[in-house]
Structure 1
Amino acid sequence: MTSTTSSELLQAAQQLQQLRSGLAQLAQSQTSASALGQQARSATTLLQALPARYGEVLLNLLDRLESSALFTEESCSFSQKDLLDNLQTWAQKAEDQLNKS
């Protein structure tokens, strides 16, 4: 994690809020897993404001979420509900980390 200015922290917090909104939309079937993945991957200020491991975990979860979307609900080894729960947990931990900055 590099030194982050207050402006960058504000933008990172906004990107995190947008990501949480995307998660809620996906849970309600109002957006797709690939759209959420694109949104998350484009949240570069957020990812740069967090330790590198946060980006690694997020990308891993997104890859599994996008893979699970190719199959019917629980027919693949990844439960979309469990992955959404894990992404919500990731978002909470990311918020906690940003608040420490």
Structure 2
Amino acid sequence: MTAALASHQLDNLQSDLHQLADLRMTNHAFSQAARAHGALLAALPPRYTEVLLGLLDRLEAGALFTEESCSFSHQALVDALRQWADKAGAVLDAGPGPA
């Protein structure tokens, strides 16, 4: 059940990420939703949580900017979040490693 829930939460995160990329979801709403995916984060190695939280912190800080700037690129963060989601999916698909 936990693996299925983690997979479901990853699907939700990817759906939210599409909305974020299309500017149909705010940075804050995306970040809040992503942080709530406890089963997904628990199913991944700890480093994945560290990286995601760092990206979300940058995304929330970027909400202070109204357009692309030298210190913030919404598209670059969306791309990094997509890469994170792709790698997280590969880890979930591979299943648990040897004990």
TM score, norm. by length of structure 1: 0.90
Q: Which moved more, 1:69-78 or 1:9-18?
A: 69-78
> Which position in structure 2 is the counterpart of 1:53?
47
- The alpha carbon displacement at 1:76 in A equals 5.3
RMSD, aligned α-carbons: 0.9
Q: Secondary structure at the match of 2:68?
A: coil
Q: Which moved more, 1:42-51 or 1:66-75?
A: 66-75
> Which position in structure 1 is the counterpart of 2:13?
19
- Check the 8 A contact 1:68/1:76 in 2, yes or no: no
Give the count of matched residue pairs. 95
> Which position in structure 2 is the counterpart of 1:66?
60
- The alpha carbon displacement at 1:78 in A equals 2.1
Displaced runs of 4 or more, over 2 A: none
- Check the 8 A contact 2:10/2:89 in 1, yes or no: yes
